[in-house]
Amino acid sequence: MKVLVVGGGGREHAIIKKLKESKEIEKIYALPGNGGIAADAECVAIGAKDIPAIVNFAKNNDIGFAVVAPDDPLVLGAVDELSKLGIPCFGPEKKAAIIEGSKVFSKNLMKKYNIPTAAYEVFDDAEKALAYIETAPIPTVIKADGLALGKGVIIAMTREEAADAVKSIMQDKQFGESGNQIVIEEFLEGPEVSVLSFTDGKTVVPMISSMDHKRAKDNDEGLNTGGMGTIAPNPYYTAEVAERCMQEIFLPTVNAMNAEGRTFKGCLYFGLMITKNGPKVKAAFECSAF
């Protein structure tokens, strides 16, 4: 069987190394891959967001299975288009990937289905957002609605920082159209926990918990990045906390997506905060593989 892996980072390289262990796989292609991946798979110069080119390559190369790992091609519908060719895929369809593609969608979903999360307001007008900040509790959290390479969340410790974040995202278009809407969110306190999970749209099987370090500088300072490293397992994620998360967050989220006609199948990430009132969803969900 020939396998196609969409993406070109360390995550994709790790996936490919595991796929190589299967005796059923005769060939692995990486689109676009990278210099390191080239030692384990054939890299093809097709961008991860070029869905028509990805589909055309799959059609012409007898692909038997595909793994779509990054968020961009998932949100753009790569799984949908590959599935139309009859190719089994690991990853959610476009209508389910919106859970990462839009923080406004995910926050509204949690509110509708009573999934514990931070209090929030949504704005599509910068002036209204700036007016809200004048009386909002500080610190606060400003989030661009769309994908921003993991950098679209700004923790503002002062009103000035909050106003600068709104202007940067909505007026200066730091993240392009991803900043057409923003979420201004309650600042939660407590240990952070990251949990990746596998789901078939019904059951949820969590992987090992971790503590995600996203800040650019030492001592948890600086702006958020796509990730600077993790500690696993997370010492704050006890068996009791894990059970509460499963019953109050993980399963309710998967069930909510089903109820919305957006069944999620693939890898679902939960960014959590263990507050004094119990676990809550701190970060919006992520749907990219591992």
CA 172 to chain centre: 24
Q: What is the DSSP code (8-state) at residue 278?
A: E
Confidence of residue 220 (pLDDT cuts 50, 70, 90): confident
> What pLDDT does residue 83 have?
98
List C-alpha distances in Å: 278 to 40, 115, 147, 274.
44, 12, 28, 6
CB 41 within 8 A of CB 30: yes
List C-alpha distances in Å: 161 to 33, 85, 147, 166, 168.
38, 49, 21, 9, 10
Instruction: Quick: pLDDT tens for 103-146.
Output: 999 999 999 999 999 999 999 999 999 999 999 999 999 999 99
> What pLDDT does residue 223 have?
80
> What pLDDT does residue 290 have?
56
Average pLDDT over all residues of the chain: 95
> What pLDDT does residue 215 have?
83
* % the chain with pLDDT above 70: 99
Q: What is the DSSP code (8-state) at residue 26?
A: -
> What pLDDT does residue 289 have?
58
Q: Of 117, 138, 147, whose CA–CA distance to 278 is shortest?
A: 117
∠ CA 28-51-101 to the nearest 5 degrees? 105
> What pLDDT does residue 219 have?
84
Instruction: Quick: pLDDT tens for 76-94.
Output: 999 999 999 999 999 999 9
* List of domains in the chain: 2-91 (3.40.50.20), 119-186 (3.30.1490.20), 190-281 (3.30.470.20)
Q: What are the structure tokens assigned to 179, written together?
A: 């900043």
> What pLDDT does residue 80 have?
98
